[in-house]
Amino acid sequence: MRNFLNERATELQQGAIRAMFDRAKFFPGAINMGIGEPDFDTPSEIIEEGCIALRSGKTHYTANEGIIELRSKISKYLGAFNIEIDPENEIIVTTGGMGGLALGLMVTISPGDEVLVQDPQWLNYLSQIKYLGGVAVPVPTYEENQFRITAKDIKKKITDRTKIIILNFPNNPTGAVLGYDDLKEIAEVVIEHDLFVISDEVYSTLLYDGTRHYSIASLPGMKERTLVVNSFSKSFAMTGWRVGFATGNRQIIEKMTRLQENLVACVSEVSQYAAIKALSLMDRANEMTEIYKVRRDIVIAGLNDINGISCYKPKGAFYAFPNIKSLGKDSFSVANELLEKAGVITIPGSAFGSCGEGYLRLSYANSQENLKEAMKRIKLYIESSI
């Protein structure tokens, strides 16, 4: 029989995170610090709203761009970040942040276009770009600068094929956050070189120590040059509802809507009603952020108490990115040893790009009790094996 797969599909590979979870199945007692997903259940008020929606017949297709009630709420929500958005024409409700990213990249990348992506970065960007025939160009970021991408480093990677920059703050895997001045410098480069920004802001409510979220779309002249991608997954513990949104350049939103119409029609109507409820419950999101902060402090203190490991305090998301260079082993080996010998699931930093080598990603979306036990296990194993 012929191979019916096309060339691009043939090349699709399982990502390093899933590969780690497959290995972890053989270690049932392992504590999971690998997963990038809230351990909380969705707040009960949101679940109740979903049930009400189901019972009242909200079980149909909706407009391809999503229900106007939700788009209006999103537009109000974005107003707090100084982004003026017309809910009728400049928002699309998507299948989580991933749906927004995929549609956004599908309507902008032509084969051969270069897309700048920070290194280390979330794995899915590279596979989406490659699948569409684009070329991902890594922009290095460094621990000395808490892995914040800089305008200077972006500039060095611009060629006449560069079209898009993907920004992701708060960042997965490093927890890095960009301030207003950082964004201003990046916006200047973007405008000077006539580029487009995809700003992945799915962790925008997960900020600590009084840190504020700024979107590059709020800077002068940037809304038209930006697609903001956001999601209810992380902020409201709604990963399974698959609901997010994208906003910004009107022409791009309009084409994403046409593509969504042809690919999947719309996001589940129930999830859209639940998302409206979520936006009226910012307090619940903030409560979860407070809990993540306590967990972050436990994990960062725990890591810095281990000989051979050091870790800066991330200001956002729910990941620690400790430096393990002095252990003298690559991050893949260390992550495997921690799984097999210490019983803790972590992700090797190298999975996120070459600048991630020498680091591990540890998610603190887990209970305090489990995190404390994980820190004990890692300390015992590392200190007895070096």
- Enumerate binding residues for ligand PLP (CB under 6 A): 36, 96-98, 122, 168, 172, 200, 202, 231, 233, 239, 244
Tokens of 56: 């009242």
In sign, the C-alpha dihedral spanning 131, 137, 143, 148 is negative
Nearer to ligand PLP, 200 or 269 (CB): 200
Closest distance to ligand PLP from the beta carbon of 209 (Å): 21
Closest distance to ligand PLP from the beta carbon of 51 (Å): 21
Nearer to ligand PLP, 100 or 343 (CB): 100
CA distances from 288 to 40, 205, 370 (A): 8, 10, 17
Burial 369-378 (b: 16+ CB within 10 A, else e): ebbeebbebb
Closest distance to ligand PLP from the beta carbon of 385 (Å): 31
Residue 356 CB burial class (10 angstroms; 0-12, 13-18, ≥19): buried
Say if strands 196-200 and 226-231 run parallel, antiparallel, or are unpaired: parallel
Closest distance to ligand PLP from the beta carbon of 121 (Å): 8
Whose CB is nearest to ligand PLP? 96
Going by C-alpha positions, the residue among 146, 86, 140, 150 that lies closest to residue 117 is 140
Tokens of 102: 């995929």
Nearer to ligand PLP, 32 or 327 (CB): 32
Tokens of 281: 């419950």
Burial 11-27 (b: 16+ CB within 10 A, else e): eeeebbbeebeeebeee
Nearer to ligand PLP, 125 or 208 (CB): 125
Tokens of 104: 């956004």
Nearer to ligand PLP, 62 or 199 (CB): 199
Nearer to ligand PLP, 122 or 381 (CB): 122
Nearer to ligand PLP, 64 or 231 (CB): 231
Closest distance to ligand PLP from the beta carbon of 341 (Å): 28
Instruction: Find the helix or strand (DSSP H, E) in which 385 lies.
Output: helix 368-385
Nearer to ligand PLP, 96 or 134 (CB): 96
Half-sphere exposure of 81 (CA within 13 A, CB side): 22
Closest distance to ligand PLP from the beta carbon of 246 (Å): 11
Q: Tell me, what DSSP letter sits at residue 359?
A: B
Closest distance to ligand PLP from the beta carbon of 233 (Å): 3
Tokens of 167: 């920004």
Q: Tell me, what DSSP letter sits at residue 339?
A: I
Closest distance to ligand PLP from the beta carbon of 293 (Å): 19
